[in-house]
Structure 1
Amino acid sequence: MGTRLVGLLGLLTLALGCDRLPDPDEAAPPGGGTGDSRAVSPLANPDGTGPGLAALTSEADQAKARKLIRGLATKGRGPKTGYEREEFGYAWLDTADGVPLARNGCDTRNDLLKLHGRQVRFRSGSDCVVASMTLHDPYTGKDIAWKKAEAAEVQIDHVVPLSYSWQMGAARWPESKRRQLANDVLNLLPVEGRANSSKRDSGPASWLPPDRTIRCAYVTRFAQVAGKYELPVTTADRTTMLEQCGG
């Protein structure tokens, strides 16, 4: 499409009061996706109820992130003995008290898909079960056209993995607190399935999102969760977190 024609279409769009037509010559964001204009900075989203995960690029925001990270306690990672997913309640229960979106009649996974997805469509007769959507994956920077029939393409990541939390002290928590951590939207992000599978139960020193531009925001979210639940992190993890935010 020629530059003159794009310009004429843009003028027509403005005259009609619509959004500007995309210019095919404009550069795509990192990772090949189109981005998500709704994405919220973790610093402006302390309860996790805002969609997406916006990058932290300004020096002022990175300084705030470093202050948050420096406030975390450190300790060595304990044994995994006794860890089972069921110690944190059955997956995606709607009855974990004390967390946003609990007891709304919709399970945690579908709550997350609705919160972060775009062009969300529900299963016939339901206002809860998401049948299809488009997701901007913050970890890879890609846009994913997702359908329920291909459920594994999008997985819900525990930013602070449950096994990690178990080794850092959650083994001694009451089950009610472990249920909160497992279903707290602050600790949950829908992401590309392969990226989530590669992370497993790693802390930031062992795994970071493939998209480098989002890494400071990711470790900030990790720090927010650890701080809220008074979880220490390993010294290596805290060092890596600071490095990702310019420290």
Structure 2
Amino acid sequence: MTLTWPEFRRERRRSRQAWVLLAAAALAVVAGLGWFFTAGQFAVAEPPTDGPREAPVLAAGWMNPVPAVRPVPRGPAAALLDTLPVKGRAGREDYDRRAFGQAWLDVDRNGCDTRNDILRRDLSGAEFTGDPRCQVAGGTFREPYTGRQLTFRRGAGSSVDVQIDHVVALGDAWQKGAQQLTAEQRESLANDPLNLIAVDGPANQDKSASDAATWLPPNKAFRCHYVARQISVKAAYRLWVTPAEKDAMQRILASCPGQQTVVAAAR
């Protein structure tokens, strides 16, 4: 079949348009792959940041404050940070968890151990085993370090999925002044609700005994509160910070200049 000249021009124009569309599609695919293999894969993998921006300290009615070395002053966290001593780390060779007393004592004397107090405080719809309501059997919560919704179920293989983190790790505290505290003050530090949060088990293991210079919560929305809470704990127990740690804290607080200290007020 022989095409007329107008028909030939029409077909050639359609062919050009098709090639243009194919080229545009190919460029989009290449650009998409380039984005994914540079920054995109990390954006996709980054955990959600819609979790809590702060965490409670005391629950009204059944939690009691733990006596610290000194009260935490109310005010900007950045201002309190500037009052903390800045020094290098002390040695860790003689660190022993037992220096902070038996794990999960009932320091606030409310009849329940500290671990169950924190689970009950932080979980929604907490379920209990037995009476009084001390042993938490399950519940859900928006986990602060990752921002994910998690479920806690007590059990030999499941309890470790949700752990109670010392916001200022005891190993870090030992190297930054806790060696000079009395045995009773160290027990308070290890069981003070100000220094304790229920968190994702793997995130807690990843943190280990790190300070703010070497580890921060993946959930960026929680970092201002996290740093302010560390500052508040260190002020309450007369602990110091290293130069790198202070720099890291200042960088975080620069993004939230209105961030306040964290005090043990019932909520």
User: TM-score range with shorter-chain normalisation?
Assistant: 0.7 to 0.9
CA distance in 2, matches of 1:172, 1:139: 30
Query: Alpha carbons of 1:217 and 1:50: their partners in 2 closer, same or farther (altered >3 Å)?
Result: farther
3-state SS, counterpart of residue 134 of structure 1: strand
Within the candidate set 198, 203, 210, 1:195 is matched to 203
1:113 aligns with 2:106: no
Distance 1:140 1:163 in 2: 23
| Structure 2 unaligned regions, length at least 5 | 1-45, 61-74, 256-267
Once the two structures are superposed, the pairs formed by residues 91-240 of structure 1 within 5 Å of their partners are 91-94=103-106, 96=107, 102-149=108-155, 150-240=158-248
- Equivalent pairs: percent with the same residue? 40
Alignment match of 1:244 (pick from 252, 255, 259)? 252
Residue identity in the other structure for 2:159? A
Question: Which TM-score applies when normalising by structure 2?
Answer: 0.68
**RMSD of equivalent CA atoms:** 2.1
Equivalent residue, structure 1, for 2:82: 70
Structure 1 letter corresponding to 2:98: E
- Change beyond 3 A, Cα 1:50–1:135: same
1:34–1:143: 8 Å Cα contact kept in structure 2?
no
2:181 and 2:130 map into 1 onto residues whose CA distance is 40
Q: Secondary structure at the match of 1:245?
A: helix
**CA separation of 1:70/1:34 partners in 2, compared to 1, >3 Å: closer, same or farther?**
closer
Give distance in 1, aligned partners of 2:167 and 2:91. Answer: 20
Gaps of 5+ in 1: 1-29, 52-62, 97-101
* 1:3-30 Cα deviation digits (max 9, x unpaired): xxxxxxxxxxxxxxxxxxxxxxxxxxx9
* Distance apart, 1:32 and its partner CA: 4.3
Q: How many residues align?
A: 194
Provide the C-alpha distance between the structure 2 equivalents of 1:35 and 1:74, rounded to a whole number of angstroms: 32
Q: CA–CA distance in 2 between the matches of 1:187 and 1:222?
A: 8
Residue 254 of structure 2 aligns to a residue in which SS?
coil
Following the alignment from structure 2 to structure 1, what is the Cα–Cα distance between the partners of residues 207 and 237? 21
- Correspondence 1:90 to 2:102: yes
Separation in structure 1 between the aligned mates of residue 197 and residue 98 of structure 2, nearest angstrom: 20
Q: Take 1:86 and 1:108, find their aligned partners in 2: how far apart are those partners? A: 16
Paired with 1:125 and 1:189, the residues of 2 have a C-alpha distance of: 24
TM-score, normalised on structure 1? 0.73
**Offset, 1:216:** 1.2
Moved more, 141-150 or 122-131: 122-131
Q: 1:50 to 1:124 in 2, by over 3 A?
A: closer
Higher relative contact order, structure no. (Cα contacts within 8 Å, ≥ 6 residues apart)? 2
How far did residue 156 of structure 1 move?
0.6
